[in-house]
Amino acid sequence: MKKDIYTKNDRFENFSAIVTKGAGSTAAFGIACAIVILWGASGPLFNYSENWQFVISSITTVITFLMVFIIQKAQNKDSLAIHLKLNELVASHELSSNELVNIEDLTEEEMRAVEKYYKHLRARAKNDNNSHTSYSLDDRKKNNNPE
């Protein structure tokens, strides 16, 4: 795929990808453990004061707060990529229903209706003792099946 179709240079997206990858690494976990161990070892030096406790509490709170947004950004991108890949698979398969493309945009109630139809198909395949017959969401309309 050509790179020139992507014209938007999103610095936060690049930053979140780098931070998410780094934060999930073994090295990051080791550094975090080392900081906690050093903080704990410094307790006697500071007489386990409130300020000593406040330091670790403040640091972890700020890091957690910021990481929520960074991880959510990366998660949103991953989720979008998965949806697009699934949409391509659905759209490219001649027996599948294109109504499933972007199904995530439906309301939950509409998705439950589709789920109900697929449960009906499962029961139908079980009753027919034929799990290899292909059915599509479009078959529901052809057969006037309300489920």
pLDDT tens for 22-79 read 999 999 999 999 999 999 999 999 999 999 999 999 999 999 999 999 999 989 999 9
pLDDT at 81: 92
Q: Please report which confidence band the pLDDT of residue 117 belongs to, taking 50, 70 and 90 as the band edges.
A: confident
Question: Of the candidates 101, 100, 98, 88, which has an alpha carbon nearest to the alpha carbon of residue 1?
Answer: 88
Q: Between the CA of residue 83 and those of 20, 50, 66, what are the distances in Å?
A: 21, 48, 26
- Whether the pLDDT of residue 7 is over 50: the answer is no
Instruction: Write down the mean pLDDT value for the chain.
Output: 84
- Residue 24, C-beta contacts closer than 8 angstroms, at least 6 positions apart: none
- Whether the pLDDT of residue 8 is over 60: the answer is no
Looking at the fold, whether 7 and 79 belong to one and the same domain comes out as yes
> What is the maximum alpha-carbon separation in the chain?
78
Work out how many domains the chain is built from and give that number: 2
Looking at the fold, whether 36 and 107 belong to one and the same domain comes out as no
- Residue 7, C-beta contacts closer than 8 angstroms, at least 6 positions apart: none
Long-range contacts of 68-71 (CB under 8 A, 24+ apart): 70/15, 70/16, 70/19, 70/20, 70/23, 71/16, 71/20, 71/23
pLDDT at 147: 52
Looking at the fold, whether 78 and 136 belong to one and the same domain comes out as no
Structural domain boundaries enclosing 69: 1-92
- The whole-model pTM stands at 0.64
pLDDT tens for 119-143 read 888 888 788 776 666 666 766 666 6
Looking at the fold, whether 120 and 83 belong to one and the same domain comes out as no
Looking at the fold, whether 81 and 14 belong to one and the same domain comes out as yes
